[in-house]
Amino acid sequence: MREEKIIEILHETLHAEHGSALEMLATSKNATKSSHVNGYFHHAKDEYNHSKTFQSLLAKRANRLPPDIARSYRFSSIGLLKKGYVSKKGFLIETMKLKDFIAYVYTNELLAKDSFSKILKLLEINSGDYIKVSDIMTDELRHHGMAKEYFLRYYPTLQPWQLKCYKLREIIKNKTRIIYYKNIKFLDKVFNPIYIFLSFFAALLLNHLNVKYFHRTNANLMNISSRSMF
């Protein structure tokens, strides 16, 4: 049970790290100043390396699972969109104001460090995996420091209490996100029988749908109306 929990956490963290790598790469490409491009490039590089580390940690444990369970822990980057680690609306830099984006990085690196310390508690002390995750924590702290420096350089009038507000805001947002997803899962369980019931009636109607209309044998495909969605 404990092993599967670790695997699940590693799987989620792998998504989070890969998502961060893509976010930082997109930010690097969006930046106009060469120094900013470079800064975000190196941040993205670190996140890619973290993602690689989590991929190998996951593989090491998941290859002991029965195939049907292991299959559900496969990683593909398309999962980032499905799981919401990259928003379907776009990357953060495409949807946020720069100031908010920098604040987001600043606070989230610190929060990431906190969640890595929780992961460490699940791992055997001083094992290879433990050391790898500790190294990642050092990186996250460095990123946090860089973001803080960057933030204060470009927004020098900001007071420390304002930074604390940003952090608090992110903590609340993260907690709300967790509550939201838990509620969604709960509501899904509650409403699923209703959905299934409605789907049953929809299926009965669909059974009467005549798909012969969709057949195009002997039709000139170039002459089918292009305004129609059928």
Residues that bind other proteins (CB under 8 A): 22, 25-26, 28-29, 31-32, 34-35, 37-38, 41, 44-45, 48-49, 52, 58-59, 62-63, 65-68, 70-71, 73-78, 80-81, 86, 88, 90, 192, 195-196, 198-200, 202-204, 206-207, 209, 211, 214-222, 224, 226-230
Specify whether the CB–CB gap between 19 and 44 falls below 8 A: no
Cβ-based nearer residue to other proteins, 86 or 147:
86
> Would you say 87 or 167 has its CB closer to other proteins?
87
Residue closer to other proteins (CB basis): 2 or 88: 88
DSSP label at residue 124: P
SS3 128: helix
Supply the minimum distance, in Å, between the C-beta of residue 85 and other proteins. 10
φ, ψ dihedrals at 93, nearest 5°: -65, -25
Tell me, what amino acid is at 68? D
Report in angstroms how near the CB of residue 157 gets to other proteins at its nearest. Answer: 27
Question: To the nearest whole angstrom, how small is the minimum distance from the Cβ of residue 167 to other proteins?
Answer: 29
Is the CA virtual torsion 89, 90, 91, 97 positive or negative? negative
Of 187, 188, 164, 168, nearest in space to 176 by CA: 168
Element (H, E) at 91: none
Nearer to other proteins, 41 or 150 (CB): 41
At its nearest, how many Å lie between other proteins and the CB of residue 109? 19
Q: Tell me which long-range contacts 132-137 makes (C-beta under 8 A, separation of at least 24).
A: 132/53, 132/57, 133/53, 133/57, 136/50, 136/53, 137/113
Q: Which is nearer to other proteins, 159 or 226 (CB)?
A: 226
| Smallest gap from residue 1 Cβ to other proteins (A) | 19
Nearer to other proteins, 82 or 99 (CB): 82
Q: Tokens for 95?
A: 């949807």
- Could you tell me the smallest distance in angstroms from the CB atom of residue 182 to other proteins? 19
Taking the C-alpha atoms of residue 15 and residue 85, their distance in angstroms, rounded to an integer, is: 7
Structure-block tokens of residue 133: 């995750």
